[in-house]
């Protein structure tokens, strides 16, 4: 498992490679989506922190605390240099890269909207389990495994 800050730095590195910048909200959602993809693919968490259902979607509190100073502005691309990042050849980075390739063109509000889709882990906790509660990894894993299976089935049908 990696710290959510190290995962955020991996996204910041990918964004910098393409001369892009990311906001706190974008990073929160991208890290959560990568966490879900990793849980679905490998069965264990990507990050070593809990995720909570907040107003604008899933939030990782330690990452939020680290990014809070940026408000809605762009995050420093060197947020976590020297923290011990994620190896680019690792499974962890594969999850980050796959999420980056799928969602890099989305705004913060678009990512928030995606995280709010009916049946999503955020939706299930926010609407049925208690606002600001922990989003269980098992719920996240099951949701993303179902999405991956459904997508693979649809692709094979073509």
27 vs 155, more confident: 27
Angle separating helix axes 24-42 and 91-103, nearest 10 degrees: 130
- In the prediction, which pLDDT does 96 show? 96
- pLDDT interval class at 156 (50, 70, 90): very low
Contact 47, 3 (CB under 8 A): yes
Pairing of strands 52-54, 57-59: antiparallel
Average pLDDT of span 110-114: 97
pLDDT digits (tens, 9 = 90+) for 22-77: 999 999 999 999 999 999 999 999 999 999 999 999 999 999 999 999 999 999 99
Specify the residue for token string 């011990």: 84
84 vs 36, more confident: 36
User: What residues are paired with 133 via a beta bridge?
Assistant: none
The pLDDT mean for the chain works out to: 91
Q: Round to whole Å and give the CA distance between 149 and 155.
A: 10
Q: Nearest to residue 28, comparing CAs of 93, 145, 144, 114?
A: 114
Reduce the DSSP state of residue 1 to 3 states and report it.
coil
The domain locations on the chain are 4-157
Written in H, E and C, the secondary structure of 56-104 is CEEECHHHHHHHHHHCCCECCCCCCCCCCCCCCCCHHHHHHHHHHHHHC
């Amino acid at each position: 498992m990696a710290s959510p800050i190290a995962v955020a730095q991996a996204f910041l590195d990918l964004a910098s490679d393409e001369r892009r910048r990311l906001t706190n909200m974008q990073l929160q959602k991208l890290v959560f989506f990568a966490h879900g993809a990793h849980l679905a693919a490998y069965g264990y968490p990507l990050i070593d922190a809990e995720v909570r259902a907040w107003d604008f979607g899933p939030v990782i509190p330690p990452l939020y605390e680290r990014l809070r100073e940026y408000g809605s502005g762009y995050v420093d691309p060197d947020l976590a240099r020297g923290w011990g990042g994620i190896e680019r050849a690792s499974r962890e980075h594969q999850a980050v890269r796959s999420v980056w390739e799928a969602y890099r063109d989305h705004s913060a509000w678009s990512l928030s909207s995606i995280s709010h889709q009916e049946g999503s882990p955020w939706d299930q906790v926010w609407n049925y389990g208690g606002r600001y509660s922990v989003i269980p990894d098992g719920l996240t894993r099951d949701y993303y495994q179902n999405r991956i299976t459904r997508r693979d089935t649809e692709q094979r049908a073509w």
